[in-house]
Amino acid sequence: SKPRRIFSGIQPTGMIHLGNYLGAIVQWKKLQDDNEDVILELADLHSITLPQDPKTLSKNILEMTATLLACGINPDKVLLFQQSMVSTHSEISWLLGCICTMARLNHLPTFKEKSASLKDIPLGLYIYPVLQAADILAYKATHVPVGEDQFQHIQLTQDLAKMFNNRYGYCFPIPHAIVTDNDTSRLKSLRQPLKKMSKSDPDPKSRICLLDKPEDIAMKLKKAVTDFISEVTYDPENRPGVSNLLSIHSFLSNKTIDEICRESQGLNTGQYKTSVADAIIAHIQPIQKEYYSLLSDEKYLFQVLRNGAETAYEISHATLKEMKQKLGL
Ligand code: ADP
Ligand code: NA
C-alpha cells in the first residue's frame, strides 16, 4: 500500500484534559510508535481567530509543547512545529481562498456555532477552515485524525484539493479523515455523563486535567455523578456515569473493562471511585514530573520548535512553489 502521511493539529490552549489526552495525544503517540509519518501542528494561527491575551498565548504555546513531549511525543520521530513560525501556511491559505466560495463556508456548522454569539465576526473565524485546508495540503497529507465535529472541514479540504487539481493539474493527494473521537469513544463529563468532557464546560469538576493535583483528582472523582446502584457494571446506556469511569480506568491502566469489573466485585461506588482516582494519579504523575522538568528548560523547548519549523518550512515551501508554478505566478 502507498505510504501514509498523517497530519494533525491542536490549538495551544491551557488545561489539557483527559479527553484531549486520550482522544488526541495518545492516538498520535500510537501512530508515532507504529513508525508512521506524523506531522503535528501547534495551531496558534487558529487560536487567534478569537481574542487571546498575548502573554497567555505565548505561555500556552510553550506549555503545550512541554505537554506533548511529556506525553511521549518524540520530536525526532514526529515533525512537531508551531504554525505561525511557518509562513507558507498563510500564503497557501490565500491561494486556496481564491478558489473557495463564501457559500461553501457559510454552511459549516462550526462557524455557525462559534459566530452565533458574536456581534462582529472576525474574517479569520470565517476563513479558518481554508487555513486548515492549507495546513493539511501544504504537506500533501493523506490522512487526518480528527474529532467528529471536524469532519466537514476535512470534506472542504478534499473539495479544495480536487478543485485545485482539476483546474491547474494534479498537485494534491485527496486526504482522508480518520475519526478518532465519536460519540461512543468520547470521554464524558464527570458531572453530566451524557455530555462530552470539554474545556468549555463552565464546571471545572466536570473534567480531569492532565496537571491536576492528586487531591483535586480524588475530590473530582468523589463528586462524579453516578447513580443509585452501588455496584460496578458497564452499561453505557443505563449507567453512563459508572461506565464513563470504567472507560477512563481501562484506558489508563491497560486493563480491559471486564477485568476491572471482575476486580472491583464487592466494591461500592464510593470505593470504586477511589480506585479510579488512584489509577488516574498513577498514570499522570510521571507525565507531570516530566512536564515540569521540560518546562524549566525553555531553551530546549524553543530549540525543538525552531527545528520543527525549519523542516516544516522546507516541505511546505516546495508545495507552495509547485502551486505557484501551476497558477502561473
Ligand atoms: P474541547 O472540547 O475540550 O474544546 P477540542 O475541541 O479543542 O477539545 O479538541 C481537541 C482534541 O481533543 C480533538 O482531537 C478532540 O477530538 C479531542 N477531544 C476533545 N474532547 C474529547 C473527549 N471528551 N473525548 C475524546 N476526545 C476528545
Ligand atoms: Na471544542
Residues 202-235 pLDDT 10s = 999 999 999 999 999 999 999 999 998 989 999 9
- Report pLDDT digits (tens) over 37-96: 999 999 999 999 999 999 999 999 999 999 999 999 999 999 999 999 999 999 999 999
Architecture of 5-186+297-327 per CATH? Answer: 3-Layer(aba) Sandwich (3.40)
Annotated active-site residue 162? The verdict is: no
Confidence of residue 20 (pLDDT cuts 50, 70, 90): very high
Separation between Cα atoms, residue 283 and residue 277, nearest integer Å? 10
Average pLDDT, the chain: 95
- Give the number of whichever ligand sits closest to the CA of residue 188: 1
What would the mean pLDDT of 140-158 be, rounded to a whole number?
Answer: 94
Separation between Cα atoms, residue 73 and residue 69, nearest integer Å? 5
3-class SS of residue 240: helix
Can you give the length of the chain in residues? 329
Can you say how many angstroms the Cα of residue 250 is from the centroid of all Cα atoms in its chain? 21
Q: What is the pTM of this model?
A: 0.95
- Residues with CB under 6 Å of ligand 1 are 10, 19-20, 22-24, 147, 180-181, 186-187, 196-200
- Report pLDDT digits (tens) over 176-185: 999 887 777 8
C-alpha of residue 19 to centroid of ligand 1, in Å? 6
Q: What atom of ligand 1 comes closest to residue 199's alpha carbon?
A: 3
Task: State the pLDDT at residue 16.
Answer: 95
C-alpha of residue 210 to centroid of ligand 1, in Å? 13
C-alpha of residue 180 to centroid of ligand 2, in Å? 14
Annotated active-site residue 199? The verdict is: yes
Annotated active-site residue 114? The verdict is: yes
- Report pLDDT digits (tens) over 1-17: 678 999 999 999 888 99
Range list for CATH 1.10.240.10 in the chain: 204-292
Residue 47 amino acid letter: S
Range list for CATH 3.40.50.620 in the chain: 5-186+297-327
Among the listed residues 90, 127, 77, the one whose alpha carbon sits nearest the alpha carbon of residue 105: 127
Prediction ipTM score? 0.95
**Rg of the chain on CA atoms, in Å:** 21
Task: State the pLDDT at residue 181.
Answer: 74
Kindly indicate whether the domain formed by 204-292 is annotated with CATH number 3.40.630.30: no
- Give the number of whichever ligand sits closest to the CA of residue 113: 2
